[in-house]
Structure 1
Amino acid sequence: MEQNKPTQSLPDNAYRELKPGEEYKPILPANTTPKEVTPYSVTMGILMAILFSAAAAYLGLRIGQVFEAAIPIAIIAVGVGNVLGKKNMLGQNVIIQSIGASSGIIVAGAIFTLPALYILGLEAEFYKIFLSSLFGGILGIVLLIPFRKYFVKEMHGKYPFPEATATTEVLVSGEKGGSQAKLLAVAGLVGGLYDFCASTFGLWGEAISTRMTAWGTAIADKFKVMLQVNTSAAILGLGYIIGLKYSAIIAAGSFLVWWLVVPIVGSTATGAGMSPEDLFQTFGRPLGIGGIAMAGLIGIIRQGGIIRQALGLAISEFSGKKKNAEVKVERTQRDISMRLILSILIATLAAVFFFFQFGVLGNWGQTIVALLIVFVISFLFTTVAANAIAIVGSNPVSGMTLMTLILSSLVLVSIGLNGTSGIMAALIIGGVVCTALSTAGGFITDLKIGYWIGSTPKKQEGWKFLGVFVSAATVAGVMILLNKTYGFGEGSPLVAPQANAMAAVIQPLMQGGSAPWILYFCGAILALVLTGIGVPALPFSLGMFIPLQLNLPLLIGGVVAWFVSTRSKDAALNKARMSQGTLIASGFIAGGALMGVVSAIIKFAGADWKLAEWCASNGASWLALVMYIGIIVYFAMHTLRAKKEE
């Protein structure tokens, strides 16, 4: 029975594809009953959800970036457990992380759309923000659960799951202690301080660009060609975990837009007076949105069998044919029953219907149309969001939400709803959909962590609803407070960039304007071509949508992963180096995420320690280049020091 005891390390097949007949056995075996849901884990999870919802909302509205809460919450869970002297906390820490991580995903759904209501001078009461976030979060959970087995088990080793990998390494190393925990802690300290010095103090630039040279500026101005790299250690670590294959595909999408589309358009009369950055926003990103949408449709078609299987299971459960099915399923593969999932889905859609009818629209026909938009888009793009997180660790939710706003605006205008009431309705619809997709993408991370460790999916799924409820209430309160204190948009420290973009798009549409349909169509056609020649369309489209400065460091991290894992002829040594690199990369990501929270708190307190004048100088850019090379060398050298297990 020795093999049935919990181990303290991930199996060697945790991150690779399984061989024929091989089975993945998690740290907490299926035939054990580890502590998971306890008063301590639930209370800690709620506290984390409240704390990180507030921090993420402020930071997201300030700079447009929502930090992923899963990693810092995992670090805190491990740290507090150790301080309190608690033992065998792995199962409980997964629950803490799962409940608490609802914060980041609910915040992302809310702040990308709902502040646009205030920006456009509309009044959004607490219940509108709360309910749109709550209903979106619930939809995201119930629509994803039927796909859990596909993403976390059947696709095991085929998707890198970068954020889930980093979080799992934190949880496992914290439980195990010893040299792995020390290595993770040191890497987290190095990566965290490195990013903190750049973002908070401005000791060197957060990004480097060819514009820091005279010739680079001239080329950018004349030919609209430039190169940008974000120097964050966290993004470098993310690229390492993603690996060379996917990071190269993502970068290829960026190269196509930035080094082909942007220069070509910039050479015409249309783009002559625009900067490369403006050309990317105007012409490049819409291509990415079209590609993401088509890649999503392709994924839906390919996963039609899974959808039919899930629906068939639901029907069979309702007909009473599988009453005892749960008993036969091992603990680590046990989900909430399809009967309950379908019941929650129907109840949620009914609640959304009444919310739209009595709180937003007041017209039965328009309410039915709005409900259909929410359900259809949320259902169709749930797998797209999960796919994106599984591959890149980044959810293109703003792009999919922008598409939702455009489509819903056109539909609502066609049925006679426009002006102020139309804008309100479209933004609320967008808020629900955005939160649903954000939740689906974030929740697949939780479930993958649970799969690696050996948690009970049913418990993760059930308690995720609590996290969504707490986070939705917190975000609504914080958003209203920040609006009354600072306001959003121009002249405010809270620029809410995504919400401003949504407002800029939706206002003309509701007043008879248009959308860049030709660019969306071209992006969609490109996705079809890529699929036809065997290139994954989603990561390529993500590359077109996400700025170049965030994609190039992913490629650099992927190159580091390839380099350290191919230097030796000894396969065992290469494997040991790759594993050590994963631990260091996880430390970089964890440290960057945690220090991002610290930085947000400092900014929230009104402190500004950034050396703004120096940070904007060429000297800071050159120093950033030196520091970035230094962190890459540190990363590679410490990875190559790994020794194979005897």
Structure 2
Amino acid sequence: MRHPPATPQLTFRAVVLAIVLAVVLSAANAYLGLFAGLTVATAIPAAVVSMGVLRLLGGGTILENNIVQTGASAGSSIAAGVIFTIPALIILGYWRDFQYSWVLAIAGLGGLLGVLFSVPLRRSMIVEEPLPFPEGKAAAEVLKAGENPGPGLKILAFSAAIGAVLKVAAHSGMRLIPDTAAGAGFFGKYLGYMGTNLSPALLGVGYIVGLNIGIVVLSGSILSWHIAIPLYHMFFMGTDPGLAQSIAGAGPEDVAGAIWSAKIRYLGVGAMLIGGVWTLFSLRKSLLSGVKSGIAAARAGSGGAEVAETERDLPMKWMLVALVVFVLPLLLLYQAIVGLWHVSIPMAIIMIVAGFLFVSVSAYLAGLVGSSNNPVSGITIATILFASVVLLLLLGESGRMAVGAGGAPLGAVAAIMIGAVVCCAAAVGGDNLQDLKAGYLVGATPWKQQLMLGIGAFSCALIMAPVLNVLSEAYGIGAPTAEHPNPLSAPQATLMASVAKGLFGGELPWGIIGIGAAIGALIIAIDEALKAKASSFRVPVLAAAIGIYLPLELMVPIFLGGLLAYLVEKRHGMVGTKDETARDRLHRPGTLFAAGLITGEALMGIAVGIAIYASKDRDVLVLPEMFQQGEIVGLVVLAVVGWLLYRTGAKSKALGDVEPGPM
């Protein structure tokens, strides 16, 4: 579908609506990422909301709605880039709270660099050698079916209300129902553990990512919790007297958690490292092709050749100017940390080179598996490790031992800063290509989308620090403390802090990391064998690594959500179909229901956080103990939510036909 240039796109109302949605969705994804270690793409719910709002304002064009979803989708990207890295500075003790100017500089400039770096990749990955970009295609289908957005809005509103109500009823709010249902025990020498989180949002995440990814992440967790932890407990506790002493007299659930935290999760680190290296190697030809294509397109435009409206990117010469302008403040930021120009300048160069490489990797992976499955955390770990090695060489022994506020190694802080910028850039870059795919399919103007994504990314950066401070004050971030016994775990940020600190004066279990790398290599070999057989089931190494690294109870509902998506396909006889457009249309109602669960729970989590933050009392909403229910009730509630999700997803193949369920 192609539209004439006169069709309204970058209108004032579209820009304002995009900014509002971007800010709201970035806050929601910040909570989800700190809680579960995952974020989800927000383009489809943003497109549905946009169609409904603009319809109330007199109607909007398909290209206006596309601009809104483009800007709004920056919310998930910036949130991912920030929460995967910047909380590490709190965990290291370098910051006591999230400093506004620093968070704004890192997130804003990193996000804008992501837009710049992704511009030359559009032609290669979308036009010349098009990748699937599943969420971009799905968003385009939603936009094309936008004549009747009412049913979609009803689904979103209904499921968001469910997510919000259950969040305020959970342990962090009224404590009507618990957050998890878990059990553990010793069976002879075997330490057994099983549990599930009761969050509807995780069920929604699983529905969106699908059964393939659900199986992979759950298998990774089973490897950690049902094999590695019991083996370590049976055979290696005697070689670790410090850990053995710390868990003496503890219950089996606490013992399993302690072994996972101190040792076994580093298997995931090793798998992520080998996965990041393999991803870079396997994409080397695509990276070179993208650079060549972008340069050729820039020369064609500057040579006076006629370029169609639907092929106009932001001018390459302005991209280079903006790159210099954005790098200078980052150079000053690094100088403020280490105080040595001979270190700050190489750091800035590393950021530029790594930023472009990893934006390319992120864009390619988003094109293959979607933004929700894009393993940005693995990319960031590789960046932090590379930056740390360079910093170790530049700083020397004295610099290696230098510490800053809170006793945090300055080298580790600097590496985290580099990783944060690259992480924001990679997240935004991958999302940008997803949006440009949708725009390409509906006939949008690329440079207008690129400009809108930059506006959306910077708008989200403006509110990240306040949101993080509210969540930190209300829930705590990282390890449990007396004040916050059930904090937001921030798994990726905790990992980044551990890796960076371990390279600067700390200790890392390199043996376990090496075993994890070997496991990652084996997973890669299995995945390549499946690829050679053209199997529909794949084993992406970074998804498996995330499962190995994260707690088991988070992976169980994600798997169950993926199973529900499979059952919806089975009901309609579409299991194994290669028609991605038909699959996207089939899952659209269920995807919107899942997105509503995620958004409602996340936004209510922030609202509960604000109440706790304002009252300085983490029990401000807690009801008397007589009203509090046990794990059985929580499991029943989760089962009911799962049934509603399945029922909504299974009722129709098209959004225009679906009923919103029992309301």
TM-score (norm 1): 0.77
Alpha-carbon spacing, 1:293–1:383, altered in 2? closer, same or farther (3 Å) = farther
Using a 3 Å threshold, how does the CA distance of structure 1 residues 505 and 92 change in structure 2: closer, same or farther?
A: same
CA positional deviation for 1:283? 3.6
- Tell me which residue corresponds to 1:435: 424
Q: Which residue of 1 aligns with 2:282?
A: 302
Please, which of 342, 359, 365 is the counterpart of residue 382 of structure 1? 359
The whole-number CA distance in structure 1 between the counterparts of 2:544 and 2:304 is 40
Structure 1 residues 150 and 289, CA gap change in structure 2 (3 angstroms): farther
Tell me how far apart the structure 2 counterparts of residues 415 and 336 of structure 1 sit (CA, whole Å): 37
Alignment of 1:223-238 (within 5 A): 223-238=190-205
Which position in structure 2 is the counterpart of 1:625? 635
Is residue 313 of structure 1 aligned with residue 293 of structure 2? yes
In 2 relative to 1, CA 630–488 (structure 1 residues): closer, same or farther, beyond 3 Å?
Answer: closer
Please point out which of 94, 106, 109 is paired with 1:135: 109
C-alpha separation in 2, matches of 1:247 and 1:62? 18
- AA aligned to 1:139 is L
Distance (whole Å) between structure 2 residues aligned to residue 553 and residue 484 of structure 1: 27
Is the contact between residue 388 and residue 538 of structure 1 (CA under 8 Å) also seen in structure 2?
A: no
Q: Do structure 1's residue 37 and structure 2's residue 13 form an aligned pair?
A: no
Unmatched segments (≥5 aa) in structure 1: 1-27, 212-216
1:35 CA drift (Å)? 1.8
Deviation at 1:593, TM superposition (A): 1.0
> Which residues of 2 match residues 501-580 of structure 1 at below 5 A?
502-503=496-497, 506-507=500-501, 509-510=503-504, 512-533=505-526, 534=528, 535-567=539-571, 579-580=585-586
Paired with 2:167 and 2:360, the residues of 1 have a C-alpha distance of 34
Matched, 1:348 2:332: no
Letter in 2 for 1:590: G
Once residues 548 and 630 of structure 1 are traced to their aligned partners in structure 2, the CA distance between those partners, rounded to angstroms, is 22
Q: Amino acid of the residue matched to residue 593 of structure 2?
A: G
Unaligned segments of structure 2, at least 5 residues: 171-175, 248-253, 405-409, 529-538, 658-663
Aligned to 1:17: none
Residue 586 (str. 1) matches residue 585 (str. 2): no
Cα 1:240–1:65 change in 2 (3 A) is: closer
Q: Cα deviations across residues 41-76 of structure 1 (Å, max 9, x unaligned)?
A: 223333444555567667877897777665664454
Partners of 1:410 and 1:487 lie apart in 2 by: 31
Kindly provide the amino acid, as one letter, of the partner of residue 310 in structure 1: G
Report the counterpart of residue 219 of structure 2 in structure 1.
Answer: 252
Partner in structure 2 of residue 459 of structure 1:
448
2:461 corresponds to which of 466, 469, 472: 472
Cα distance 1:238–1:478, how it changes in 2: closer, same or farther (>3 A)? closer
533-542 or 135-144, which deviates more: 533-542
Q: Distance in 1 between matches of 2:179 and 2:430?
A: 27
Query: Which is further off, 295-304 or 218-227?
Result: 218-227
Asked if the contact 1:584–1:635 (Cα under 8 Å) also holds between the matched residues in 2, the reply is yes
Q: Return the offset for 1:37.
A: 0.2
Distance 1:408 1:600, change over 3 A: same
Q: For 1:298-354, what per-residue CA distance to the aligned partner results, in whole angstroms no more than 9, with x for missing partners?
A: 222222222112222344467x466358744561x5433445444433443344334
Partner Cα distance (2:318, 2:464) in 1 = 27
CA contact (8 A) 1:253 1:541 kept: yes
| CA RMSD, Structure 1 to Structure 2 (Å) | 4.3
Q: 1:341 to 1:172 in 2, by over 3 A?
A: same
User: CA 1:303–1:422 in 2, change beyond 3 Å: closer, same or farther?
Assistant: closer
Contact persistence 1:262–1:284 (CA under 8 A): yes
Displacement after TM superposition at 1:450 (Å): 3.3
Pick from 255, 266, 273 the counterpart of residue 275 of structure 1.
255
Whether the 8 Å CA contact 1:166–1:587 is kept in 2: the answer is no
Deviations 1:146-175 (A, max 9, x none): 4445655688785644xx6776676566x3
Q: CA deviation at 1:370?
A: 1.5
Query: AA paired with 1:134?
Result: G
Q: How does 1:394-433 map to 2 (within 5 A)?
A: 394-398=373-377, 400-402=379-381, 404-416=383-395, 417=399, 418-420=402-404, 421-433=410-422
Q: Distance in 1 between matches of 2:356 and 2:32?
A: 29
What letter matches 2:635 in structure 1? L
Once the two structures are superposed, residues 429-452 of structure 1 have per-residue CA deviations (whole angstroms, 9 ceiling, x without a partner) of 233233223323443443344345
Partner SS state of residue 566, structure 1:
helix
- Given candidates 324, 327, 343, the residue that maps to 1:366 is 343
Amino acid at match of 1:323: S
Q: Which residue of 2 aligns with 1:94?
A: 66
Q: Percent of pairs identical after alignment?
A: 26
- Segment drifting more, 594-603 vs 563-572: 563-572
1:487 Cα deviation from its structure 2 partner: 9.3
Query: How far does residue 424 in structure 1 lie from its aligned partner after superposition?
Result: 4.2
SS class of match (1:36): coil
Superposed CA offset, 1:14-55 (max 9, x none): xxxxxxxxxxxxxx5255653210111223333444555567
Partner letter of residue 515 of structure 2? C
**1:242–1:558 Cα contact (<8 Å) kept:** yes
**2:407 match:** none
The one-letter code matched in structure 1 to 2:511 is I
8 Å CA contact 1:300, 1:383 repeated in 2: no
Q: 1:49 to 1:242 in 2, by over 3 A?
A: closer
1:159-238 to structure 2, matched below 5 A, reads 160-161=134-135, 175-177=146-148, 181-182=150-151, 184-202=152-170, 203-209=176-182, 211=183, 217-219=184-186, 223-238=190-205
Determine helix, strand or coil for the equivalent of 1:37. coil
Separation (CA, whole Å) in 1 of partners of 2:35 and 2:132: 36
Taking a change above 3 Å as real, the CA distance of residues 218 and 546 of structure 1, as seen in their structure-2 partners, is closer
Label 1:303 to 1:589 Cα distance change in 2 as closer, same or farther (>3 A).
Answer: same
Q: Distance in 1 between matches of 2:577 and 2:412?
A: 59
Q: Which shows bigger deviation, 398-407 or 544-553? A: 398-407
Query: Secondary structure at 1:229's aligned position in 2?
Result: strand
> Kindly tell me: are residues 569 and 316 of structure 1, through their superposed partners in 2, closer, same or farther at Cα, counting changes over 3 Å?
closer
CA pair 542-454 structure 1, distance change in 2 beyond 3 A: farther
C-alpha deviation, 1:604, in angstroms: 1.0
8 Å contact 1:188–1:592 — kept in the other structure? no
Report Cα offsets for 1:373-397 as digits up to 9, x if no partner: 3234333433454466534715544
Native 8 Å contact 1:160 1:241 kept in 2: no
2:54 and 2:210 mapped to 1: Cα distance? 32
